[in-house]
Amino acid sequence: MNQLFLLRHAKSSWASNHLSDFDRPLNNRGRRNAVDLGESFFEKKLKIDHVLCSPSARTKETFDIIQSISNFALDHKFLDSIYHSSVGNLIEILSQINLETASVMIVGHNPSMHLMTELLVNQTIDKFPTCTLAQIKIVYSWDKLRKHQNKLINFRKPNK
């Protein structure tokens, strides 16, 4: 059974008018939410074969915090193409994953994390706040992803 984890970055800061969208760091709430998620991964002994992460400051910081607490990622890569990615592009990225890889996480942005989840599981999801994690059971292989045929196993929103 393949599993896909879609994680929207934690809450970012808008405090500086001098930073580009790409360079915005997490705010204090975002850091707390990322720590909580990392602790959850640690408690569940969650390990993910391959993490694909947007290279923006807030996605990297989210990943780094969770990884430092739980050491969950067995392998990871930062991909420019995830920043401002479309759902079609994410499906293309996943289609190139080694077929022996059992679990993949994408750390990215909305609206693509939200739309990708809805597309894969054929379920309307009201909101996909920052630091939300969707865990999806993939029915077919990475190169044969089908819309509406996968199962949402877990949908974890952060505590405020």
Which residue ranges are tagged as binding site for substrate? 58
Q: What are the backbone angles phi and psi of residue 149, rounded to the nearest 5°?
A: -120, 15
- The binding site comprises 58
**Nearby residues of 132 by Cβ (< 8 Å), 6 or more positions away:** 7, 8, 113, 155, 156, 157, 158
Sheet with 151-156, side-by-side order of all strands: 76-78, 50-53, 103-108, 2-8, 133-138, 151-156
Q: What are phi and psi of 9, to 5 degrees?
A: -50, 160
